Amino acid sequence: MKHPILTILAITCFLNSWADGATNRNVEIAKHLDIFNAVYKELDLLYVDTIKPEKTIKKGIDEMLSSLDPYTNYIPQDDMDKLKMMTTGEYAGVGCVISQKKEGILITDVYEGMPAQKAGIRTGDLIVEINGKSAVGLNVTDASEQLRGESKTQVEVTVKRTNGKKTKMVITREKISIPAIPFYTEIEPGIGYIYINGFTEKSAAQFKNAFLDLKENKKISKLIIDVRENPGGILDEAVDIINLFVDRKSTVVYTKGKNPNLNKTYKATRDPIDKDMPIAVLVNRNSASASEIVAGALQDMDRAVIIGERSFGKGLVQTTRDLPHGGNLKVTISKYYIPSGRCIQAIDYSKKNGKEYSQRIPDSLTHEFKTIHGRTVRDGGGINPDIFSADTVSSTAGYYLYEKDVIFDYVTEYQKKHPSIPNLKDFTYTDKDYDEFKAFVKERNFTYESFSETILTSLKESLKEEGYAEYAEAEIKALEAKIKHNIDTDLNLFKKEIVRSISIEIAKRYYFQTGMIIESLKFDDCKNEAIKLLNDTERYKKILTAEQGNDKKE
């Protein structure tokens, strides 16, 4: 009888210890909530100025949540429409993108077929009044709140055209729905291309319709799925898209967290539409969350070849919880794991370095996993592509021409001279056009400091502080002469990159978001790599076998 009694005693001690631990934790929570409550009451009673409770307490909540991860957020009642837009892709408003300028609110993009475009708003217009009140000095958040509103209500705006003329317009707000699949096409004979903008409600249905149209009407036999710049979204939508290409009952992804009741396994619940068609998935450093699940699950199941850059590395799952007074808490509850068993979360938010920044998990601490065919894949750092193909690297000159709105303003002037442009298949931005752009840049007296020059300036200051300035003067002057940029030289040296940016901006002005995607594909090395691979059946098959491994070229 000794052993049963000892077992019972051990269990009793464990339960008592666990209960004591839970009780102590609850006591600590209650204690610190009391302290927080007392501090605020004292401030409200004694502080020299009046404290706004909604602002002060929200800041306290935000600071508390910022110590966890970037995805756990408090959403007050006034911001619930933003949460709805994130999950559904829908909101009620006018359908344009804006930015703040000294003179008012600049229209930087207009959605095709939406209220702003119907009313005659054009990219480049400047809103100077909203409902009779000046928009000068208004920030983007406040302007957005005034432009948004209930469907079928109206907002009056006064816009200043690029010619200086002011025009009053009445815009009738509508329900704005941003398509998850803004563009798909037969990009080459037999090869389909589908761009996924995000994973909101109905994304999978829109993807399925696009795929069936390509398969049944264009008779495609190969497919490119593009999730570059895709920040993710609803997990179920990603699972349903994967389900189109893998066997029923296949495990697509599963989640694990502190609360076992919230853990879930997602399986393919339907028969696939096509489980044999060769697929290439395009990813880049900004492909995150649900887009990484699509790429990673298809990679783990050896169902697609992944092409591009290493993805972002967001392996965390959030859910929303209702709070008192109409607010909401978006909280990270678990990590997700794709079929091989790996989690691709790149940053461990529980660990900090000396500067209080979360640390990215080093490659040396990642682990090996195997795909269905035995290929080696790793966890802890996003989805590593099977074929590495980097996006176009931005030069400093190209970056500042875009960032300082030089390209934007030039294209606005371009539109004045060109009421229309040809179909994008026939459109070409010519050398003569580029000469006009170079003249425009010089007229603007455009200047910038390169990254190398910024570092050299910092080095000169350090040398001066440490007493080495005179000693290293000759070398510094020689280095300055070598790296000093010249606008004419830079405009010629980085012509290809700058022309790409100009062409895409022009296409967006005349053909909206669809045009932007079509034009960008003309300059797309990653897309070209995918076409090349899909046309090489033997290479495609070899990549998806353990013997071949992969074609990574990092």
Classify residue 158 as left (phi > 0), alpha (psi -120 to 50) or beta: beta
Tokens linked to 518:
């079509």
**If we measure between CA atoms, which residue out of 284, 256, 305, 337 comes closest to residue 534?**
305
Task: Please state, in angstroms and rounded to a whole number, the distance separating the CA atoms of residues 501 and 397.
Answer: 12
Active site residue 311: no
Strands (E), 383-488: 387-388
Q: Is 205 exposed, middle or buried (0-12, 13-18, 19+ CB in 10 A)?
A: middle
Q: Which of 222, 314, 508, 527 is catalytic?
A: 314
Q: Return d(Cα 27, Cα 29) in angstroms, integer.
A: 5
* Sheet with 305-308, side-by-side order of all strands: 183-188, 191-195, 222-226, 279-283, 305-308, 387-388
Verify whether residue 240 is a known catalytic residue.
no
Whether the Cβ atoms of residue 281 and residue 385 lie closer than 8 Å to each other: no
Closest CA to 511 of 426, 451, 391: 426
Longest CA span, the chain:
98
Encoded tokens for 63? 């600071």
300 is catalytic: yes
Amino acid in the structure at residue 384 = N
User: Do the Cβ atoms of 459 and 468 come closer than 8 Å?
Assistant: no
Do 231 and 311 touch, CB atoms closer than 8 A?
no
Which residues are within 8 A (CB) of 127 and not within 5 positions of it... i.e. 6 or more apart?
Answer: 98, 104, 105, 106, 107, 135, 143, 157, 158, 159, 160
| Dist. CA 124–CA 110, nearest whole Å | 10
**SS3 call for 157:** strand
Residue 402 near residue 501 (C-beta atoms within 8 A): yes
Of these residues, 300, 379, 386, 524, which one is catalytic? Answer: 300
The secondary structure of the chain in percent helix, strand, coil, rounded to multiples of 5, reads 45, 20, 35
Report the alpha-carbon distance of residue 133 to residue 91 in Å, rounded. Answer: 24
Measured CA to CA, the distance from residue 447 to residue 490 in angstroms comes to: 11
Q: What are the φ/ψ torsions at residue 243 (nearest 5 degrees)?
A: -60, -25
Residue from 414, 410, 403, 399 nearest 441 by CA: 410
Whole-number Å distance between alpha carbons of 323 and 261: 21
Q: Are 342 and 350 in contact (CB under 8 A)?
A: no
- DSSP reduced 3-state for 132: coil
- Per the CB < 8 A criterion, the answer to whether 257 and 226 are in contact is no
Write down the catalytic residue from 144, 203, 250, 289.
289
Positions annotated as catalytic residues are 289, 300, 314
